[in-house]
Amino acid sequence: MWALYGFARYADEFVDSLTDPDPDALMAWGARVEGCIGTGAGFDAPSRALIATMRRWDIDAATVRVFLNSMRMDIDVAHYPTYPDLERYMDGSAAAVGVQLLPILEPSDQQLTNFIRDIGEDLERGRVYLPMEDLDRFDVTTQELQRCRYRQAVTAPVRNLLQFQIFRARQVYARAEPGIDMLHPDVRPAIRCARTLYGEILDEVERADYRILHRKVAVSKRRRARVAATAVTRARAQWRRTRAVAA
């Protein structure tokens, strides 16, 4: 898992800098990664760790290509006209990573939640990760979002837009919930922990009355610790059950 995280983080660093994104370096590095997947020989620490992990867990090389394509979209695309367009981006930037993890976890909408929470930071980068068709539907412009950020306020149309995005994210969570029980018992507590905390980010957006364009809301440290402690307790109990069966 560390190898997959390191690879994704390394690629993300090429495009997520506010002051010095390096699209040419990303394109060159990504092409080298794709080339070395076939040979099985990496050329730097992230690619070597990635290839070793892919071989050990039989991870589909197509997921790497899809992920790199989304990273390239981060360079060229600032707005997404429709929700299906945004889904195609999320397929690479989030879903592909989830597919890579499935063999490790032994058989998410978290990213949409991030887009809602991080809307102000993304505006600062000149990006909007909400479908433009939704902005049009609620009579919201990117200029209005910028004004709300500057004034530390929220207008009725922006509030309606965010309410709709939260509704959509919760629908995805509800559809995904049964899938947690299909995962290996050892990993269910960690996934439920993430599911709970990401869902509560949406609660925090509502608690802030959607005034999130100038600041980033978060679940409190105390609450995160409590949820994590519950997950650890359940994980330990499952580990003991697994050992007892093995014995």
Q: List the domains of the chain with CATH numbers.
A: 1-77 (no CATH), 106-247 (1.10.600.10)
Model pTM? 0.66
Q: In this predicted structure, what is the pLDDT of residue 202?
A: 95
Q: In this predicted structure, what is the pLDDT of residue 108?
A: 46
Tokens of 37: 């997947």
Dihedral in degrees, nearest 10, Cα atoms 140, 131, 27, 16: 50
237-245 long-range contacts, CB within 8 A, separation 24+: 238/185, 238/186, 238/188, 238/189, 239/186, 241/185, 242/185, 242/186
For the beta carbon of residue 220, count every other beta carbon within 10 angstroms: 10
Q: In this predicted structure, what is the pLDDT of residue 176?
A: 83
What 8-state DSSP symbol labels residue 80?
B
Dihedral sign computed on CA atoms, order 52, 57, 62, 64: negative
* Model confidence pLDDT, tens digit, residues 50-72: 988 888 888 888 888 889 888 88
For the beta carbon of residue 243, count every other beta carbon within 10 angstroms: 9
For the chain, 247 residues long, give each residue's pLDDT as a single digit of tens.
788 888 888 888 777 664 566 777 888 888 888 888 888 888 888 889 998 888 888 888 888 888 988 888 887 788 899 999 998 888 888 878 878 877 776 544 567 888 899 999 999 888 899 999 999 999 999 999 999 999 999 999 999 999 999 999 999 889 888 888 888 788 888 888 988 999 999 999 999 999 999 999 999 999 999 999 998 898 888 778 777 776 6
